[in-house]
Structure 1
Amino acid sequence: MKNKKIIFLIFILIVMAQLYVPFQMIYNQEDIIKSGKEFRFQTIPIDPYDPFRGKYITLFFKEREITVQKNIKWHSGETVFATLTTDKNGFAKISSISKIKPKNNESYIKLKISLGYINSKILIDFPFNRFYMNEDIAQKAEKIYQEFSIKKKNETYALVAVKNGEAVLKDVRINDVSIKDLASKK
């Protein structure tokens, strides 16, 4: 009888541990959304279909290519820390990139180097490059983006919350209106 109680107790502890991990991940994401600093990253979205993940917009960022110091070796796949600022139009800009985590209170994100160039430039991969949407409105969103991109006077950007090096994609917007709202109206 005592062995059954011990086995049951171990089972309960294992179940609790398995539930703790996803709940902690969800909590961390929600904390970043609620208390993180918001940045607007200019984007060029494309909408592929991935049968395993559903409909989403793939985001390409204008800040993807960065000029770096020539005397530092940067390697593909390497984790780096990018310090963020905003430009005069309110869009996110990378002010510096480092292999060491910033120690001050600056806003920064953890990134991976996609590709290094000979001429002191690197390509970086942002951890928030897919915006998942309801399948019913994803195709409408793609058409809306194409219509707006023809006019070329529109601002398309990703609204991202940043806290302690982590980032969460909150929304994709065209002229300060959520692409979800625009697609739902059509």
Structure 2
Amino acid sequence: MKRTHIFILFIILAVAQIAIPAQMIFNRESILESGTAYKFKTEPVDPSDPFKGKYIFLNYEVDRVKAEDKNWVRNQEVYISIANDNLGFVRATSASLEVPKTGDFVKAKVDWYATDERTLQFSFQFNEFYMEESKAYNAEVAHRKAQRDSLPNNTYALIYVRDGEAVLNNVFINEIPIATFVEE
């Protein structure tokens, strides 16, 4: 009888260990399939973390929005409403502590609030793009060179958004995925 209980408990734990990561993967894939794609202009650096591996840390040009005077708290979760500008890149339209009722939005963290300018600075949580270790440094160099190029809007991250959740799909230089760009 005791072995039966242990065996059943083992089966439940094994199913949970498979089901939880599978649900996380399914959720991300679902956002990629049915979410709205937005182009976020980027400004990368290339850190290395012994636990995470090589990745490109992305800073986004859109990192502040006009906001009414509120008691914003550093690291507080905030909802940033977004829309495309006339060039097809994302722009922040408003910030709220509550989920917006209409339009697309993403979750962010408050960095600071400038009361004089009534501007909220924030940071997104989808700022790490993982690459094959041998390509990460070359990708950062290529991206930095592309940023200095005279062509505007030639580097961006493609982010899919649905119901406040965001998934970083790829980083592009001159409309070419960064891993492919580095190989050329």
Structure 2 unaligned blocks of 5 or more: none
Counterpart of 1:115 in structure 2 is 112
After TM superposition, the score normalised by the length of structure 1 is: 0.92
CA RMSD of aligned residues (A): 1.4
Counterpart of 1:171 in structure 2 is 170
Deviations 1:129-179 (A, max 9, x none): 111110111122122123222323142111000011100000111121111
Secondary structure of 2:107's match? Answer: strand
2:22 counterpart letter in structure 1: F
Counterpart of 1:140 in structure 2 is 138
Check whether the contact 1:138–1:183 (CA below 8 A) recurs between aligned residues: no
Distance 2:2 2:148 in 1: 71
Counterpart of 1:184 in structure 2 is 183
Q: How does 1:74-85 map to 2 (within 5 A)?
A: 74-85=72-83
After TM superposition, the score normalised by the length of structure 2 is: 0.93
Q: How does 1:1-186 map to 2 (within 5 A)?
A: 2-70=1-69, 72-104=70-102, 106-119=103-116, 120-154=118-152, 155-185=154-184
Distance 1:166 1:78 in 2: 16
Distance 1:36 1:123 in 2: 25
Distance 1:6 1:90 in 2: 58
Aligned length: 182
Q: Could you list the runs of 4 or more consecutive aligned residues of structure 1 that deviate by over 3 angstroms after TM superposition?
A: none
Distance 1:50 1:115 in 2: 26
Check whether the contact 1:82–1:95 (CA below 8 A) recurs between aligned residues: yes
